[in-house]
Amino acid sequence: MSSTLILVLAISFLFGGMVLMLTMGYLDTEQKRALQARQHQAEAAQQPAAMVAMPGFFAAPHATLPSTLIVFDDAMVTRLEHHVRLEQALVAPFVHHPSLDNLYRPPTTPVHVH
Amino acid sequence: MHDQIRAAELFNGLSASRIQRLAAIGRALTLRTGEYLFLLGDSAQYVSVVTSGQVDLCCPISFGGVVKDITVESVGPGKTVGWSALVKPFRFTLSARAAHASEVIAFARPELLQVFETDPEIERVVLGGVSELMANRLTMFQALWMRELLRTFSPGGQSATT
């Protein structure tokens, strides 16, 4: 009788422990998921802000300075125009002969900007 | 003006008599350095060919309350500017500014359409030229946009082919 009772208690303890472990594991997973979701939301919120921080006409700006530190002067215009010309030179082969290769192939010779 | 029109890409291959018809409706314009031929958003009434100098096609960019024109394309003698005058909704999509003292020949849309009605060969050549310009512009911006997408979404924010 007592051995049966001990067996029942042992099984109950084992089963209870397993349930407890499973519950804790589930809670831990849920916490990680919630944390990841918050991180994704924060990244998504930062993305548009980064994109509008500077007039990246065709491409993301090289420098990620705060917009308050950037002066839209002639030097900035020159930089933007240089960037546009560079980008156009890079896509010129695709414009003349559209193909997947020409779209993604890195330039084999230094890009000449007029 | 006859020779300048004949040298224009837009009228490539037209006979002397047809060039003469176009010369009759063309208006020579002189632009000083920095002078605008048209502005983005203006009603597009004239298509023009550059005969001397250089005209910059610009896109106004606003930043921090300051608006400045960024040159996205420069066109020289023989090239066309203002093809929006021949395509609905007849609004310029870029501004055109003389980089140096320049000369252009402008063709008003109503007069050009009259010529088209009486001479389909001129219409075929001109609209073929305009289509090519539009296709080039579209292809270029498509490629630029795809590169931009790559940069935006690739890890680290840089495409592999910069």
Domain edges within chain A: 1-52, 54-114
**Domains of chain B listed by start with CATH number:** 2-155 (2.60.120.10)
Residue numbers of B between 55 and 94 with CB closer than 8 Å to A:
59, 61-64, 66, 68-74
Q: Write down the mean pLDDT value for chain A.
A: 70
Chain segment B82-91, per-residue pLDDT in tens: 999 999 999 9
pLDDT of residue A50: 44
pTM of the prediction?
0.68
B71–A72: do the CB atoms touch at under 8 Å? no
> What's the mean pLDDT in B55-63?
91
Question: ipTM value of the model?
Answer: 0.75
Whether residue B39 lies within 8 A of chain A, CB to CB, comes out as no
Nearest to B68 among A67, A72, A90 (CB): A72
In sequence order, the 6+-apart residues with CB closer than 8 A to the CB of A87 are: A58, A59, B144, B147
CA B21-B43-B129 angle, to 5 degrees, is 45
A94–B143: do the CB atoms touch at under 8 Å? yes
Chain segment A63-99, per-residue pLDDT in tens: 555 555 667 788 888 988 998 888 888 888 888 888 8
In B, which residues are within 8 Å of A57 by CB distance?
59, 61, 70, 72
